[in-house]
Amino acid sequence: MFIAVTFFNKSLELANNNNFTDLISNITNRLAATYYEMKNKSEALKWADSSLYMAIVRNDIALQINNLLIKAAINRDNGNYQQALKSFLKVLAFQKSQGSSLGLPAILNNIATTYSYLKDCKNTIKYAQQSYNLSEKNHQITYSVVALDLLAKCYAQKGDYSKAYQFSRLYEQSRHHIFNEDRDTQINTLSAKYKSEEKDKQIAIQKLNIEKQTSALKRNNILFIAFLVILVLIVTFLVNRIMLNRKLRKAHELQKQQTELIKVQKDEIEHYAEEIKSTYEQLQKLDKHKQAMTNMIVHDLKSPINDYINKL
């Protein structure tokens, strides 16, 4: 409530600063109603008077009715029954001028109740009877019960026990009817709540089943994805293995070819080595033969030369 009052005060300050007359009257009315709910009757009465004045200036009937009702309630609570009656009667006049009878039983009951506080049975009966008649016409049983209670009590105070008994019976019947309606309403409410709870349970069960199914589906999806991943890995491994085997086989064949080539080259080298060795041996033989021939020639030439030299 204090938060609401603070909010309305801030709103009122803004409305005053911007001269929003229509808004000011509505805010002051809300302040009056809020203070009344807070049991702060002096503040409620102050703001209701302020709002009522602006409503009169603006000729705002609805706002005048609201403020008059607040004032009437405060005055009646404070024991100022005459002041309360003035406000209620003004509201009654406004309501009648509006041409609608739906709101009249409540006002008439308030007027009758206020007269009952003043011990004025005549006016209490007058307004309670009007309220009862309109309530029956409009099928407003709640207001009818209040009016019947007032009528029964007033006729009992006047000593007219026949009418008091008559209205008391009507009061009990109406109250019983309201009780039955309330009971039916409660039963219907409980039934609706039960159905709602059952529906909520079913929804919860369905939701749980859906969650389980979703969880199972997710788990299956994960397993399927895992299976696919494993399958892809296996296929990849096999493909790589096949390719590796092919490469190894090619490498083996190449190695074999190279080995054979090396063997052939080795054989050729060995053959060439044999040829070189044979040639070398032949050259050695030729060299020895050459040396022998040279020695022999030198020896053969040495004797004639020596003889020639000696002759000289």
CATH number at residue 133: 1.25.40.10
**Considering just the CA atoms, what is the radius of gyration of the chain in Å?**
63
The predicted-structure confidence for 115-172, as pLDDT tens digits, reads as follows 999 899 899 999 999 998 988 888 888 888 888 898 899 989 888 888 888 888 888 8
pLDDT at residue number 129: 92
The predicted-structure confidence for 74-85, as pLDDT tens digits, reads as follows 998 888 999 989
**Per-residue pLDDT for 179 more than 80?**
no
**Per-residue pLDDT for 73 more than 60?**
yes
The predicted-structure confidence for 40-72, as pLDDT tens digits, reads as follows 888 888 888 888 888 888 888 888 888 888 988
Report the mean per-residue pLDDT for the chain.
Answer: 82
For residue 272, tell me if it sits in a domain.
no
C-alpha dist (Å) from residue 113 to 104, 149, 167: 14, 10, 16
**Mean per-residue pLDDT, 207-235:** 85
Domain housing 105: 2-203
**Between 145 and 21, residue with greater pLDDT:** 145
For residue 304, tell me if it sits in a domain.
no
pLDDT at residue number 307: 67
The span from the CA of 140 to the CA of 100, in Å, is 14
**Mean per-residue pLDDT, 104-125:** 90
**Between 306 and 114, residue with greater pLDDT:** 114
Question: Residue 87: which of 69, 110, 105 has the closest Cα?
Answer: 69
What is the number of structural domains in the chain?
1
The span from the CA of 50 to the CA of 47, in Å, is 5
For residue 234, tell me if it sits in a domain.
no
**Per-residue pLDDT for 192 more than 70?**
no
For residue 141, tell me if it sits in a domain.
yes
H-helix or E-strand spanning residue 283: helix 161-311
**Per-residue pLDDT for 184 more than 60?**
no
The predicted-structure confidence for 266-280, as pLDDT tens digits, reads as follows 888 888 878 888 888
pLDDT at residue number 303: 67
Checking 178-186 for CB contacts under 8 A at 24+ apart, the result is 178/141, 178/142, 178/145, 181/141
**Between 198 and 98, residue with greater pLDDT:** 98
pLDDT at residue number 141: 85
**Between 188 and 53, residue with greater pLDDT:** 53
For residue 224, tell me if it sits in a domain.
no
Q: Give me the percent of the chain exceeding a pLDDT of 70.
A: 87
**Per-residue pLDDT for 200 more than 80?**
no
C-alpha dist (Å) from residue 231 to 63, 218, 225, 244, 292: 81, 19, 10, 19, 88
For residue 279, tell me if it sits in a domain.
no
pLDDT at residue number 113: 92
Q: How confident is the model at residue 188 (pLDDT cuts 50, 70, 90)?
A: low
Q: Give me the percent of the chain exceeding a pLDDT of 90.
A: 6
For residue 295, tell me if it sits in a domain.
no
**Mean per-residue pLDDT, 14-31:** 78
Place of tokens 């299956």: 220
For residue 300, tell me if it sits in a domain.
no
- 128: CB partners within 8 A, 6+ apart: 108, 109, 112, 147, 148, 150, 151, 154
pLDDT at residue number 82: 92
